[in-house]
Structure 1
Amino acid sequence: MTDPGIAMVAEPGKAAPRGTAPDLFDKFQPLIDQREALLSTGLTDPFNLVMERVESPTVAICNGKRTILLGTYNYMGQTFDPQVLAAGHKALDEYGAGTTGSRVLNGTYQGHRECEEALKRFYDMDHAMVFSTGYQANLGIISTVAGKDDYVILDIDSHASIYDGCALGNAQIVAFRHNDVEALEKRLKRLPAEAGKLVVLEGVYSMLGDTAPLKEMVAISKAHGAMVLVDEAHSMGFIGPNGRGVAEEQGVLDDVDFVIGTFSKSVGTVGGFCVSNHPKFEILRLVCRPYVFTASLPPSVVATAATSIDLLRGAADKRAHLWANSRRLHGGLKDLGFTLGTETPQSAIIAVIMPDLERGAAMWEALLQEGLYVNLARPPATPAGMTLLRCSLCALHSEEQVGEILGMFEAAGKRVGVI
């Protein structure tokens, strides 16, 4: 029997198959051409900007210039909090730089348990599982809970990690139109009543910064026998009375089976998690492949995360200031004549829609020259083929900085001809 690993290798003395094998990079050629065309104009690479020094959650040195950060997802400004940094230094000194192991082997330290306890306190839930990234949290939970004979019903604008979780678990994907309650209900009605069903939603969608109608969607999902997972990556920390996200704000947190989140946004470090009240939840630690087969987070990271999560429980004033920043920036950009992703501010994300990729890239460069960093987002990551500049506010942006930002947008927009 031929070894399948060498089946395509020519036998000694025999000619190799005719023809030239395609370069596996050929499928990327349109994107390569587009990137080279943009960079040939002298544009700074918007997807490879180097921050030479980070001075605070809101200011860095980029290209040797003081730059206001408006594209970092550092919503609550926890990255430089003295208590957070002290916890990280202490864990680094006491436990070393890394665990060198999986959570189910030698990779669970006391700090991992303390971080999970902090999450349970924050969400007031029975179970918490910490992953090495937020991407892996979605990948792991979705692929483990929903298998090949199950259905995952998801918003068509869902994050890549959600789609990848469906693919890893080989579940049947049923997509519905973005934030369309009626479309969700129609999809659920068509599925077999006896089939396993998981509805996956996001509290805040990261491209346009709009929130989901979770109250209606969770009720419909439950009425059709589906479990519900809500990704609160972009709402944890500042939406809801206690910062627990859109599900809390809309009064349906107790009806949600799984909440997924990340430490790389409001928490200010790196990692991911899932919290749940499901009585069988703990078995996931033995069957969730992205949890079982990945090295755990370093002790210093989980220490900073646990400290930051506890601090977020008492961050009502910061939440209020962040909302004030969001309302002011949204209103100011609208008054200047920019087209925005939402009619009203719904989160800390404000999307400024550009006419096309070329002018979007030019506007991004003009803002960087003014001293402002935002995200340039392009298809296929964006919905409906949009090019947009994504702004993510921080609770530590001062009133003066928001005023500076509006001035920079006005100057850059007029120079590029967007307004």
Structure 2
Amino acid sequence: MTDLFSKFDPLIEQRRALLAGGVEDPFNLVMERVISPTVAVCNGRETILLGTYNYMGMTFDPDVIASGKQALDDFGSGTTGSRVLNGTYAGHRACEEALKEFYGMDHAMVFSTGYQANLGIISTIAGKGDYIILDIDSHASIWDGCKMGDAEVVPFKHNDIEAMEKRLKRVPEGAGKLVVLEGVYSMLGDIAPLKEMIRIAKENGAMVLVDEAHSMGFIGPNGRGVAEDQGCLEDVDFVIGTFSKSVGTVGGFCVSNHPKFEIMRLVCRPYVFTASLPPSVVHTAATSIRKLMHAGNKRAHLWENSKTLHKGLRDKGFQLGTSEAQSAIIAVIMPDLERGAAMWEALLHEGLYVNLARPPATPAGMTLLRCSLCAEHSADQVQTIIGMFERAGKAVGII
């Protein structure tokens, strides 16, 4: 009989070899206690968190926590139903109103996760006979949305404006076209040239979807993301985002100005056929989103942290994913998986948690340590982190 797990044998062997070398499992770390957005107890010791996507540090905001506790008391622990049945509570509407206000858009739709937002919107608006033109480094949820929707999928080289234009021009006359881009790409932390790409997409009759998961709350004058920062937000048809980054909880969303957008609530399967978010989650999200509208000082401090860490690591001799700080993500390129895992463990022993990322999640088969900064990291913590990297890098032979 065929063992359906046989296809995973190479990965099983790779993992076994890695752990046999005495390295702690980098994909199974337990946070025993979380003290703040930037510190947790791991393996019995206090550890600085530099791999959590908690960009704006909202997870322990007193107003956010209070609204969640109140919602638990007022509405119970869950909705036990879909948004189109019994699963729309006052909090879901309040959350969507907050999103519309945050983005200055007419429509907002909240999903149970950010993954589902991409899966649902992409698979519903681009179907058989339509064409999706997307960046080759797009997130897994974007690729899965393409697969589920059955559209023709045409990838282009990462951030390559000319390659995108060539592929758009090859789409048959009269076919539906959707261009899918991301504001910040989550592995290297680099940003897209959205202004040029969106202009070309519109000239070629395509609709545009931009995933701003890693830029919402932080990039742009009002924290609306890279499209706002580059002055082209009004030309974007759909903005996808998540609550699990800057908002500090869980959930996903899509905002749009399309006049027919509300029909999505009846035709989008990942929205219709799943339970809605618990009341405590949507109330915390709504409170957090409203606070992010007035978080200019936090945004400025996060930029300072990002620039300081980027320069500090580069000056120590580390190879980074970008030539300068472009977002709150800083990718430190490793020579291979074995030394990447050794470096990850050395940092953990120093008291620092980062993400070890490997293929197929990473572009071009590289192994990297992904650092996600937080607006709540102090300037002293950032200097401490640079020192930890230097000691660990020398011990492992990376620098």
Short-chain TM bin: over 0.9
- Work out which of the residue numbers 254, 277, 285 in structure 2 matches 1:297: 277
Bigger-Rg structure (1/2)? 1
Residue number in structure 1 paired with 2:393: 413
Structural mapping, 1:47-66, within 5 Å: 47-66=27-46
Q: CA deviation at 1:110?
A: 0.6
Q: Does 1:198 align with 2:178?
A: yes
Residue number in structure 1 paired with 2:358: 378
- Work out which of the residue numbers 385, 392, 412 in structure 1 matches 2:372: 392
Residue number in structure 2 paired with 1:167: 147
- The Cα offsets for residues 115-172 of structure 1, whole Å up to 9 and x where unpaired, read as 0000000000000000000000000000000001100100000000000001111111
Residue number in structure 1 paired with 2:61: 81
Q: Does 1:117 align with 2:93?
A: no
Residue number in structure 2 paired with 1:326: 306
Residue number in structure 1 paired with 2:213: 233
- Which letter does structure 2 place at the counterpart of 1:329? L
Report if the CA contact (8 A) 1:263-1:270 is conserved. Answer: yes
SS at structure 2 position matched to 1:273: strand
What is the alpha-carbon distance in structure 2 between the residues aligned to residue 278 and residue 249 of structure 1? 21
What is the alpha-carbon distance in structure 1 between the residues aligned to residue 360 and residue 282 of structure 2? 33
Q: Which moved more, 1:36-45 or 1:124-133?
A: 36-45
Residue number in structure 2 paired with 1:220: 200
- Which letter does structure 1 place at the counterpart of 2:306? S
Residue number in structure 2 paired with 1:154: 134
Q: Does 1:91 align with 2:71?
A: yes
Q: Does 1:262 align with 2:272?
A: no
Length-normalised TM-score, structure 1 = 0.95
Q: CA deviation at 1:192?
A: 1.2
What is the alpha-carbon distance in structure 2 between the residues aligned to residue 192 and residue 244 of structure 1? 34
What is the alpha-carbon distance in structure 1 between the residues aligned to residue 365 and residue 178 of structure 2? 28
- The Cα offsets for residues 62-85 of structure 1, whole Å up to 9 and x where unpaired, read as 000110000000000000000000
Poorly superposed stretches of 4+, deviation over 6 Å: none
SS at structure 2 position matched to 1:130: strand
- Which letter does structure 2 place at the counterpart of 1:229? L
SS at structure 2 position matched to 1:206: coil
SS at structure 2 position matched to 1:85: helix
- The Cα offsets for residues 228-268 of structure 1, whole Å up to 9 and x where unpaired, read as 00000000001000000000000000000000000000000
- The Cα offsets for residues 213-242 of structure 1, whole Å up to 9 and x where unpaired, read as 000000000000000000000000010000
Q: Does 1:189 align with 2:169?
A: yes
- Which letter does structure 1 place at the counterpart of 2:214? H
SS at structure 1 position matched to 2:166: helix
What is the alpha-carbon distance in structure 1 between the residues aligned to residue 364 and residue 272 of structure 2? 37
Q: CA RMSD in A?
A: 0.3
Report if the CA contact (8 A) 1:131-1:272 is conserved. Answer: yes
Q: Does 1:70 align with 2:53?
A: no
SS at structure 2 position matched to 1:154: strand
Q: Does 1:180 align with 2:160?
A: yes
Structural mapping, 1:308-387, within 5 Å: 308-387=288-367
Q: Does 1:100 align with 2:55?
A: no
Structural mapping, 1:3-22, within 5 Å: 21-22=1-2
What is the alpha-carbon distance in structure 1 between the residues aligned to residue 40 and residue 148 of structure 2? 38
Q: CA deviation at 1:193?
A: 2.4
Structural mapping, 1:124-163, within 5 Å: 124-163=104-143
- The Cα offsets for residues 395-416 of structure 1, whole Å up to 9 and x where unpaired, read as 0000110011000000000000
SS at structure 2 position matched to 1:339: coil
- Which letter does structure 1 place at the counterpart of 2:12? I
Residue number in structure 1 paired with 2:12: 32
Q: CA deviation at 1:209?
A: 0.1
Report if the CA contact (8 A) 1:193-1:224 is conserved. Answer: no
SS at structure 1 position matched to 2:86: coil
What is the alpha-carbon distance in structure 1 between the residues aligned to residue 45 and residue 153 of structure 2? 46
Q: CA deviation at 1:41?
A: 1.3
Residue number in structure 2 paired with 1:7: none
- Which letter does structure 2 place at the counterpart of 1:130? V
- The Cα offsets for residues 87-126 of structure 1, whole Å up to 9 and x where unpaired, read as 0000000000000000000000010000000000000000
Length-normalised TM-score, structure 2 = 1.00
What is the alpha-carbon distance in structure 2 between the residues aligned to residue 381 and residue 119 of structure 1? 29
Aligned residues: 399
What is the alpha-carbon distance in structure 2 between the residues aligned to residue 150 and residue 316 of structure 1? 40
What 5-or-longer segments of structure 1 have no aligned partner?
Answer: 1-20
Q: Which moved more, 1:384-393 or 1:39-48?
A: 39-48
Q: CA deviation at 1:42?
A: 1.4
- Which letter does structure 2 place at the counterpart of 1:90? Q
What is the alpha-carbon distance in structure 2 between the residues aligned to residue 119 and residue 155 of structure 1? 26
- Which letter does structure 2 place at the counterpart of 1:346? Q
